[in-house]
Amino acid sequence: MSGIIYYFSATGNSLQAAKIIAKKIDAEVVKITNKTSIVCNEDVVGFVYPTFYWGLPALVARFAKKLKIEGNPYIFAVTTCGLSSGGALGQLNDILNKKGQQLNFGKTIRTVANNITKYRIRQKSIAKLVQSENKKANKIAEAVAKKQKNNIPKVGVISKAFYKLYLKEYPNSDNGFYITNDCISCGICQQVCPSNNIILKDGKPIFQHHCENCLACLHWCPKNAIEWKKATVGKQRYCHPQISCSELKTNKE
């Protein structure tokens, strides 16, 4: 049996879950980017990704639409979220249905919410949530290993409405970013960006307006030198304590 898990992760929550599941089922873990291969002939195919605005990250949606899955594999998905996953599983299932396939199994893992443009990180809850995430990921791994199936929830009306806000905002969301004098020109923001949206000019990041609104650049900056409008000023950043920055670099030197 061969397996592959496609993942999208900004601060490491989804990557951690993907790694736990992959270890259990002996699957390859592949990062979803705009350059990712679009042909798959594995026996087990997984998707692990965060929830954006109660829905599917646009990068994941584009990838799923392009991905050609050959044969009749067991397909599963896991979405991470701070509170509710809304239609994040149902949207992926809808995409697969249009291709004559379906999710056989889908689950949500609640973990640390990291959209600090909307709220603050709750420092006291991090350790507890990380422990809970790992525990649930292991349970999901056991279910996937047994090829269990469940019903995937339909995308609700409220989820659809909320998701429309994301689709409207995300392409130009990087207009809100600015760089402070604390920038040390390390280039990490460019390296962790999943959509190649950042270039360096005179050592400083310049955003190219095809942002995924994932905030990887903001959270992984070692000097907290990236802000989004006034919404993130003074707020704690978050990176999964069991994931290293190098694991998430898309554009390595």
Pairwise CA distance, residues 9 & 37, whole Å = 17
**Element (DSSP H or E) covering residue 168:** helix 157-169
Pairwise CA distance, residues 152 & 95, whole Å = 13
pLDDT exceeds 50 at position 226:
yes
pLDDT exceeds 70 at position 1:
no
Distance of CA 133 to the CA centre of its chain: 15
Q: Residue 170: name the closest of 162, 181, 158, 182 by CA.
A: 162
Q: How confident is the model at residue 36 (pLDDT cuts 50, 70, 90)?
A: low
Q: Helix (H, G, I), strand (E, B), or coil: what is residue 114?
A: coil
Give domain status of residue 165, yes or no. no
Q: How confident is the model at residue 177 (pLDDT cuts 50, 70, 90)?
A: very high
- Whose tokens are 């069991």? That residue is 242
pLDDT exceeds 60 at position 65:
yes
Which pLDDT score is estimated for 38?
Answer: 85
- Tell me the percentage of the chain whose pLDDT exceeds 90: 82
Q: Are residues 135 and 184 in the same domain?
A: no
Q: Are residues 126 and 186 in the same domain?
A: no
CATH of the domain at 181: 3.30.70.20
Which of 30-39, 158-167, 207-216 has the highest average model confidence (pLDDT)?
207-216
Q: Report residue 28 as tokens.
A: 């390859």
Calculate the alpha carbon distances from 93 to 62, 64, 87, 100, 151 in Å.
Answer: 13, 10, 10, 10, 11
Q: Are residues 53 and 140 in the same domain?
A: yes
Which pLDDT score is estimated for 33?
Answer: 83
Q: Residue 57: name the closest of 73, 80, 27, 36 by CA.
A: 80
Half-sphere exposure of 182 (CA within 13 A, CB side): 10
pLDDT exceeds 60 at position 45:
yes
Task: Give yes or no for a contact between 241 and 126, defined as CB atoms under 8 angstroms apart.
Answer: yes
Q: Are residues 104 and 227 in the same domain?
A: no
Phi and psi of 61, rounded to 5°?
Answer: -60, -45
- pTM to 2 decimal places: 0.95
Q: Residue 230: name the closest of 178, 169, 166, 172 by CA.
A: 178
Task: Give yes or no for a contact between 73 and 103, defined as CB atoms under 8 angstroms apart.
Answer: no
Split into its structural domains, the chain has a count of: 2
Q: How confident is the model at residue 251 (pLDDT cuts 50, 70, 90)?
A: low
Q: Are residues 12 and 129 in the same domain?
A: yes
Q: What is the mean pLDDT of the chain?
A: 93
Q: Which of 125, 141, 160 is the last residue of a domain?
A: 160
Q: Which of 101, 136, 160 is the last residue of a domain?
A: 160
Phi and psi of 52, rounded to 5°?
Answer: -115, 120
Q: Are residues 143 and 203 in the same domain?
A: no
pLDDT exceeds 60 at position 2:
yes
Domain span including residue 12? 3-160
pLDDT exceeds 90 at position 253:
no
Q: Are residues 115 and 149 in the same domain?
A: yes
112-127: average pLDDT? 92
160-168: average pLDDT? 83
Q: Are residues 12 and 125 in the same domain?
A: yes
Which pLDDT score is estimated for 233?
Answer: 97
Q: How confident is the model at residue 104 (pLDDT cuts 50, 70, 90)?
A: very high
